[in-house]
Structure 1
Amino acid sequence: MEGNFQQRRPGHTMSVCDYSLICNFPKCRGRLSGFAWVTACSHIFCDRHGSGEFSRVPAICPACSSALSGKLDIVRTELSPSEQYKAMVLVGLRPETVLDISHRALAFWTYQVNQERLLMEYSLYRAEVQVGQMEKLMAQQNQSKEHELNAMREEIASLNKRLEEYKQKYSEVSELLVKRNRQYQKLQGLFETLRLRTVEASDKDGLNHLFPSGIIRQRSPHSTPPFIAAGPEGDKLFQSFLEPESFKSFFQFSSPPREKGHSFIKKN
């Protein structure tokens, strides 16, 4: 209970006088000073809460719920009385009466100190229980988090392994792609070569279809003669020109037939 004990000086031994009573009102728990309300059930309250609680009839102790119906069951007292009051309050009383009053006052003080100690022990016990529960919960959470962490580590290791496999596959695919690109470039070159040959062959086939004899017409006076340009077929044609029958037929002219009884008359 913070504030229950007054601050001590260095080297000062704590005594009962250094202890301050605490208001027994559950929601107050403040140190008492000035005036206080004391009950027959050995409880004490600050002036503010005592005035508020004991102004009702019948009066009920806020600490133990005891009924306080007697005339002296509730007393408002000054905690720091004057010297004149202390000099006169017990004057004329017999010694045994003074001792009895002092004994009852000390018993009340001891009860308050013991109650405060018990309350502090109970608060400490509850705090220890709460700390134990929190430690248990924390241990469970740490264990759960450790399991999750191990699972995440295993998952990361698995993902790293898969990543390495993907990298290896990517490397293999990249090498295969480079090889395929080279093959594609080679096939493309072969295709272009074959296409050009096909076009040239198509052009030659078209010329042979137009000129079956293999003779190509001269396009200019400086071009090669047909029988020379025609290759082997040109040699055969040249030899056929040199044969007598062919030579004779080549230079023989035929005139158109004339009808009998008709003559050509040249008109001026």
Structure 2
Amino acid sequence: MTMSLCDDTLLCNFPKCRTKLNGFAWVTACSHVFCDQHGSGEFSRSPAICPACSSALSGKLDIVRTELSPSEDYKAMVLAGLRPDVVLDISARALAFWSYQVHQERMYQEYSLSRAEAQLKQMEKVLTQQNQSRELELSAMRGEIVSLKKVMEEYKRKYSEVSERLMERNRQYQKLQGLYDSLRLRNMVVGVGDRDTPPHPGHYDFSTGVVRQATPQKSPQFLSVNHAGDSRFFSCLEADGAKTFFQFSSPTRDKGRAFTKKH
């Protein structure tokens, strides 16, 4: 707060006090003034030291406790009987004290302002650095977002390609499934037709799975066990001829006709 000559209130010069003075104040020869609380506490020690400028106050009138709002009787008698030059000298010194206090307050305010400006510049510098750092981080994040978008687009492209291939495989699978179903139905129809058709003469080879046409086989030889000739057995039956013998034998003979042995 800036003081002017028209201001009627002084401020305590004790550091970190800065309160407005009222009632009683302590005035020093080094042109400093203190509130009654801090003046009583500081100047009760010996030797007395000014809290504002650290000056030694050893004289009898170096420290004066004065009333800031004196009574009318005091005003009428304090300078009474003094010569005009003494009155003017006292008034001039009192005005000089007041001017010094105003100047000191202005210097203090300028000092506070310079400190505030320095702090403001420092804060602006820090803020600028933080903004630059944030801008760098933001630009880095934007670049990362761009790169992530590119990666996402690449994944989308690969996904679309894989989806197309999968759809093509599904179409091929459906086509093959349809062919398989048609072939199975055709085989079922052919199998039913084969069962309805009479089998051709022949035999089935179980080793190869092929039906062979039967060929005429020679009649099996009979061997007589005894001279009676009524008990005869087949001497041998070929593996493939065992069945075909009954299918492709000689013309049927009468049951009552006897077989004779060739000599």
What TM-score does the superposition give when structure 2 sets the normalisation length? 0.71
**Cα distance, 1:66 vs structure 2:** 1.2
- For residues 78 and 54 of structure 1, what CA distance do their matches in structure 2 show? 17
**How far is the alpha carbon of 1:26 from its aligned partner?**
0.4
Report the aligned-residue RMSD.
3.3
Unaligned runs of 5+ in 1: 6-14, 205-213, 217-223, 238-245, 258-268
Kindly tell me: are residues 88 and 196 of structure 1, through their superposed partners in 2, closer, same or farther at Cα, counting changes over 3 Å? Answer: same
Structure 2 contact 5–102 (Cα < 8 Å) conserved: no
Could you tell me how far 1:252 is from its partner in structure 2?
Answer: 2.6
TM-aligned CA deviation for residue 182 of structure 1: 2.1
Distance 1:77 1:230, change over 3 A: same
AA aligned to 1:79 is L
Question: 1:250 aligns to what?
Answer: 252
Q: For 1:183, what is the secondary structure of its paired residue?
A: helix
What is the rounded CA distance, in whole Å, between the counterparts of 1:32 and 1:61 in structure 2? 17
Which of the pair has the greater relative contact order for Cα pairs under 8 Å at 6+ separation?
2
Q: Distance in 2 between matches of 1:79 and 1:132?
A: 41
Q: Quick check: which one's strand share is greater?
A: 2
Call closer, same or farther: CA 1:19–1:178 in 2, change over 3 Å.
Answer: farther
Task: Kindly indicate whether residue 13 of structure 2 is the aligned counterpart of residue 24 of structure 1.
Answer: yes
In 2, distance between residues paired with 1:191 and 1:182? 14
Segments of 5+ residues of structure 2 without an aligned counterpart are 204-212, 215-247
| SS of aligned partner of 1:64 | coil
From 227, 230, 234, the counterpart of 2:199 = 230
| Cα distance in 2 between the residues matched to 1:187 and 1:141 | 67
Aligned to 2:149: 160
Letter of the 2:198 partner, please give it: A
Alpha-carbon shift at residue 186 of structure 1 (Å): 3.3
Structure 1 distance, partners of 2:250, 2:17, is 154
Change (3 A) 1:86 1:196: same
1:122-173 per-position Cα deviation (integer Å, ceiling 9, x unaligned): 1111111111121122222212211221121111112112211211111111
Identity of aligned residues (%): 66
Aligned-residue offset at 1:108: 0.6
TM-score by length of 1: 0.70
